[in-house]
Structures are given as structure tokens and as C-alpha cells.
Amino acid sequence: MSERIVFLDRDTIAPHINLKSPSFEHDWVVYERTRPDQVAERLIGATVAITNKAPIREDALQQLPDLRMISIAATGSDVIDLEACNKRGVIVSNVQGYAVNTVPEHTFALILALRRSLIGYVEDVRRGEWQKAAQFCFFNHPISDLNGARLGIFGGGAIGSAVARIAAAFGMEPVYTARKGTTPKNADYRSFEEVIETADVLTLHCPLTPDTRSMIGLDEFRRMKDSAIIVNTARGGLIDETALCTAIEDNMIAGAGVDVVSAEPPAGDHPYYALAGRPNFILTPHVGWASTEAMQAVADQVIDNIENFVKGSPSNRIAG
């Protein structure tokens, strides 16, 4: 039997990444991107679907009797109705472990840029401030070492642990925090309240759930050190975005680096754009995961998961 494989949003993986051809007989259909209202139509007759961000919900699944497997080109599965897949026996597999280097490195790129005010100094040089200084350097923005600083890590999984290892190499004090409103059960963890109040750098690496949505709000920003910076390379909804803007504008904290927004791409009137010209705020377009090495690992796992499914041994299975 020939499999019909449909990739709904190939453009979510960079064009220079090699997507290998499955080794079995198959038909291959690729779309650059797919709107939610196009999903069911494009998957009619497909036995295998590949998606990164195009949602596959129960209403679409009801129209797709031939669909037997979904290979997610990501770790997160919120775009898939897993319960509906279980009911219909549709296997769902994701990719795992690919971001353990790229996200921590992007996290530290943001941390270093903020702690050393790189954006401010680069912009000053472009504006001719160095010539105006009349000496070998100038001091328009604060610079702080990482050595000796406390790093509060929200999320102790593979990525959070990798961030901690990098932090230790810089001479920082990495500490994990327990979930808001809970008591730490591990000696490596501190209470949420302690980390909020004592960390010099805070970095988010936890999933977005009803318990973690908007876990960093105005109250938390008010309790942070005014010299603290916060970095979010996890999910935009973990931070109350309006509250973060207030915290920056009112100097409650020293800066923020953000790679994720609650709705992507953000609308033109998103409050973060009002901070875009500030030297202590960095917004990157959800590219923390997107090193060439990581994207190639994603592409390879997507096809490996499909091949393993066809062989009868599904890998990275999360439903079905």
C-alpha cells in the first residue's frame, strides 16, 4: 500500500534544511503553509500528515477516514486534538531532544546582550557617540558580569538543566524554582517567591499550562530586584505581556529578552513594539530553536517517526 504524506506547513522549517525522502513507496504533497480552514480539505485521502503549527482538530479528523498517523514537526502538541486522535486510533508522534543546545545558547545570547548592554552600545556607535566621547570609551549604559549572579530557572527539564550547566561555567549560581504556590520538594529547588525576589537573572523554560499561564505578572515584577533581567524563550503566555511593558517603562526591572509572544506573529499594535527602541529590551522572532543543527534534527525525526510507524513500531508516540 502506498502512503500519501501531506506536509501542511513546510515553510516552518528553513528552506536550506534537507527533508529526506521516506524509504517506502509513497506520494508526497507539500504546502508552504495552511490556514486552519484549509486543513481538512488538504488532508483528504492522506494517510500521514506532517504539521508544525497547522491545527488538526476533531472537526477535521471527522472528515479524514484515511488518516492513520500525524508526525508533528515540533515537541509541543497543542495544535493536535489528542483525545480525538485516541478515539480514532490515529497515531501522533512528536520530535524530542532537538533543542537542548540551540535554546540554551539563544537564552545566553539574550542574557549576555542585556547584562552587557550590547544593543545600546552598538546603536550608540552607529549614531556617532564614540566620536563625541573624545576618549577611548564611554559609559552610556550599565555593564554587569555574570560571575557571581544568581540565575533563577523556571523549569528543570532538559533545556533548563542545559541552561544551568552554561550558567555554572560562567560562575553564576543557578537555582531552580518550584511552581508558583507550591513547596519545593527537591534540594536544588527554591520557592517561587524566593527566586522572584533574589534572582539577578530569571529565565523561563517551562510548558504553558493553565497553572503557568501569566505566572509572571505585575505583582511578580514589583517584587523583583530593580537590577534584574528576565528572559523568555519558552512560551509567550507565561508572562503577562502588558505587565512586562509596564515593568520596563517604570524601571521595575533592568531589562527583558523575549523570543516568544502569546500570538505569533504579533499584531502590529502589540505592546512589545512600543519597547522596540529601548536598549534594554530585545525581541527576537521565535528563533531560539532554529539553529541549522536543531532544524535538521527536527526534519530527520519527522521522517524517522513516519518510517517507524510504517514499520509497525511507532516512535515518540504521544497519542493513538
CA 255 to chain centre: 19
Helix axis angle, 102-115 relative to 158-169, nearest 10°? 50
Beta-carbon contacts of 61 under 8 Å, excluding residues fewer than 6 positions away, are: 67, 81, 84, 85, 88, 90
* Catalytic residue list contains 3: no
Please give the C-alpha separations between residue 118 and each of 121, 140, 254, in angstroms, as whole numbers. 5, 11, 14
* Catalytic residue list contains 126: no
> Euclidean distance between the first and final Cα of the chain, in Å?
21
- Nearest-angstrom CA–CA distance, 173 and 170: 9
Strand-pair category, 3-7 with 26-30: parallel
Q: Name the active-site residue from 42, 115, 205, 235.
A: 235
* Catalytic residue list contains 286: yes
Q: Name the active-site residue from 116, 286, 307, 317.
A: 286
Q: Name the active-site residue from 32, 41, 58, 264.
A: 264
Please give the C-alpha separations between residue 205 and each of 72, 108, 153, in angstroms, as whole numbers. 20, 13, 7
Closest CA to 109 of 246, 227, 244, 203: 203
Q: Return the active site residues.
A: 235, 264, 286
